[in-house]
Amino acid sequence: MAVVVGFIATAEGRAALEAAIEEAKLRSQRLLVLVHGGRDAEPDAIEEAMEEARSTIDPSGVGYEVRHLQRGKDVAEALVHTAIDADAELIVIGIRRRSPLGKLILGSNAQRILLESPCHVLAAKPQE
Amino acid sequence: MAVVVGFIATAEGRAALEAAIEEAKLRSQRLLVLVHGGRDAEPDAIEEAMEEARSTIDPSGVGYEVRHLQRGKDVAEALVHTAIDADAELIVIGIRRRSPLGKLILGSNAQRILLESPCHVLAAKPQE
């Protein structure tokens, strides 16, 4: 059993990671972090995001593993497969609040994870 | 602080209630249950659903309050307002897996709750 979280270095990604750390603590489970970088991430940016994830989790004492998504791979599919493989209890995702035009939207990755997840999904909201 | 859950006497509603009981236990928080009946619920059906919610929660030892949504009121709005009033840590909702035509869909109430919630939202999946 594990808590699976997708991490990207944005407000939503950080909200998801913080929530996932709390959930892993509450449940006494390890954390599987899948780092991705959005559509056009450079290898350096992915490496930085992995380092940010590690240094965010380290002080919590939670056991974890940080992996990165191969470039071009589908985030929703990778999270769902990781959750299935790990027999995860929970997937944690961040929810974007507003599009660049100010419209409230639920991203298509979030929708697909919510629908295709084998387990419960926690949608974390960034602090306003 | 509280865990807020919407309950309706369906597979999704029961999945949400079961998950919410577990979350309230994990967090040592009380549970606020908002019972609604779908579009055309008769008063008797709401009464039965409230009774089902109570008898599901009772054995858990979790402190709770069961309320019902006034007929014609908007479920998403009521859950979000209940969460704000209670300074809730979490809203729990059930996620429907397939439309009557077999298509995977995320209901509009679920989408609105995910976007408008003041707190994290746990989307519970019914057992297959």
Structure tokens at B98: 């397939």
Could you tell me if A75 and A36 are in contact, meaning their C-beta atoms sit under 8 angstroms apart?
Answer: yes
Backbone angles phi, psi at A41, to 5 degrees: -70, 135
The boundaries of the domain holding residue A14 are 2-124
Find chain A residues with C-beta within 8 A of B117's C-beta: 123, 125
Find chain B residues with C-beta within 8 A of A117's C-beta: 123, 125
**Any A CB within 8 A of B111 CB:** yes
Q: Say how far residue A57 (Cα) sits from the centre of its chain.
A: 13
Q: What residues contact residue B78 under an 8 Å CB cut-off, 6+ apart?
A: B34, B36, B69
- Helix (H) / strand (E) element for B101: namely none
CA distance A58 to A54: 6
- Helix (H) / strand (E) element for B52: namely helix B43-57
CA distance B126 to B120: 19
Could you tell me if B70 and B34 are in contact, meaning their C-beta atoms sit under 8 angstroms apart?
Answer: no
CATH number for position B72: 3.40.50.620
**Interchain contact, A123 vs B114, CB within 8 Å:** yes
pLDDT tens sequence across A33-88: 999 876 666 778 889 999 999 999 999 999 999 999 987 789 999 999 999 999 99
- What does each of the 128 residues of chain B score in pLDDT, given as a tens digit? 899 999 999 989 999 999 999 999 999 999 999 998 766 667 788 899 999 999 999 999 999 999 999 877 899 999 999 999 999 999 999 987 666 677 767 888 899 999 999 999 999 988 75
- Domains in chain A, number: 1
CA distance B67 to A45: 48
Find chain A residues with C-beta within 8 A of B27's C-beta: 26
Interface predicted TM-score (ipTM)? 0.91
Say if strands B120-124 and A120-124 run parallel, antiparallel, or are unpaired. Answer: antiparallel
Q: Is the pTM here over 0.80, yes or no?
A: yes
**Any B CB within 8 A of A1 CB:** no
